[in-house]
Structure 1
């Protein structure tokens, strides 16, 4: 999913093309998917991100959506792919192929929202834009989901690379710092 405006970042340019560790976030996510067990990847683009579409042209098939919002664009994209489908937002620049494979290995059936403890995001200092209570835990969605047919479930992971969504300038700064440390899923801040 790489067709959003990224208005919360308050940066010039398109969110998927923000560089972390010298590479565009969307490229980092595509690299993680390419190194994982994912069979085929598509970039879901919209009129909101024409530079991202041009950046990806010829590299990965694209699915054009209207850019009306995440849920509507996701629904439009899911009409074009088989299920179950793994969905990943382009604002996860620390995502690793091993984390993707772990999600795929733990998937059973239905749909799964991959979450991290909201406390982990707060300890890292990144924004918590959405959180919900589940079994007495406060969880935050990561931007990684498996969409299938059937019941919805939640998969909780403590991997810091899944906890860092770049939605604000501070998130980008933290992602840059973690990337420079070569984080492998453990908490680089020691918390």
Structure 2
């Protein structure tokens, strides 16, 4: 008998990986509010988050870009966006990234391909920045007031 695989963000490393991200965001003390975007594609994740008191915002589930744009239209101020599948993200990293916040409308954080490869990871989605091949980290700071 096969059991259905858990939703990606509920895969566990001592606890669901999304809980590591939520804890790091809360423990950084950088944010007035932490919430999670969910959709009908991840009902178990929504349920588990609500069980620990995390506010969830429903999206259509039509893709990352569509869901993010939908949410940004409803928000104001500076929004720290992070993927829920970064269990090694810790409060110190978050605090350092928040200090980089500029007056830009959108700041995305990159790591070099060389650094990524040193961790035994690979990506084919490369961005050339300053003649260095880089990849997105899945973390951005967005000024939602300036998004049209």
Partner of 2:47: 54
Q: Secondary structure at the match of 1:47?
A: coil
- The gaps in structure 2 that reach 5 residues or longer are none
Partner of 1:12: 5
C-alpha distance in 2 between matches for 1:40 and 1:55: 18
C-alpha distance in 1 between matches for 2:25 and 2:76: 17
C-alpha distance in 1 between matches for 2:100 and 2:63: 29
Coordinate RMSD, CA, aligned: 1.8
Partner of 2:102: 108
How far apart are 1:25 and its partner, in Å?
A: 0.9
For residues 43-78 of structure 1, give each alpha carbon's deviation from its aligned partner in whole angstroms, at most 9, with x where no partner exists.
000111000000011511111001110000111121
Partner of 2:90: 96
Partner of 1:87: 81
Total equivalences in the alignment: 140
- The aligned runs of 1:65-84 (5 Å cut-off) are 65-84=59-78
Dislocated runs of 4+, deviation >6 Å: none
- The aligned runs of 1:1-191 (5 Å cut-off) are 12-20=5-13, 22-36=14-28, 37-58=30-51, 59-110=53-104, 111-148=106-143
Q: Which moved more, 1:142-151 or 1:106-115?
A: 142-151
- The gaps in structure 1 that reach 5 residues or longer are 1-10, 152-191
